[in-house]
């Protein structure tokens, strides 16, 4: 009977060691979890930046709605997109450097 107990104890210790090693060094272990925490932090920052960008765009959209259209903003956008000017406007050309 003692021999059976010893064998069961050895098998249980081996299984415990196997699962413990995989929890510590395996593909889904602690190092993988730490990498996921870093990835989540990076994605959280990106998400916050996108939220800020969305709020700015929503602000511009509300200014362009028919019930609350801002004539100055509309005029600025039309002139910028169509590159048109009134005959009485003074146009000053400046050199523009493209930043990448």
**Contact, 69 vs 77, CB < 8 A?**
no
- Distances, alpha carbon 39 to alpha carbons 43, 56, 93, 100, in Å: 6, 26, 46, 26
- Distances, alpha carbon 6 to alpha carbons 9, 17, 20, 60, in Å: 5, 16, 21, 75
Instruction: Give me 38's structure tokens.
Output: 């870093």
What's the half-sphere exposure (Cβ side, CA atoms, 13 Å) at 24?
A: 6
Q: What is the pTM of this model?
A: 0.48
Q: How many CB atoms within 10 Å of residue 7? A: 10
Q: What is the pLDDT along the chain (100 residues), one digit of tens a residue?
A: 789 999 999 999 999 999 888 888 888 888 888 889 999 999 999 999 999 999 999 988 887 777 777 777 777 777 777 777 777 777 666 766 655 5
């Amino acid at each position: 009977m003692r021999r059976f107990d010893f064998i069961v104890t050895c098998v249980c210790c081996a299984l415990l060691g196997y699962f413990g090693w995989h929890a510590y060094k395996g593909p889904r272990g602690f190092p993988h979890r730490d990498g996921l925490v870093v990835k989540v932090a990076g994605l959280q920052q990106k998400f916050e930046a996108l939220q800020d960008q969305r709020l700015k765009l929503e602000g511009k959209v509300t200014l362009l709605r028919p019930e609350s259209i801002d004539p100055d903003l509309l005029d600025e956008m039309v002139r910028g997109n169509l590159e048109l000017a009134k005959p009485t406007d003074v146009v000053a050309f400046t050199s523009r450097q493209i930043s990448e």
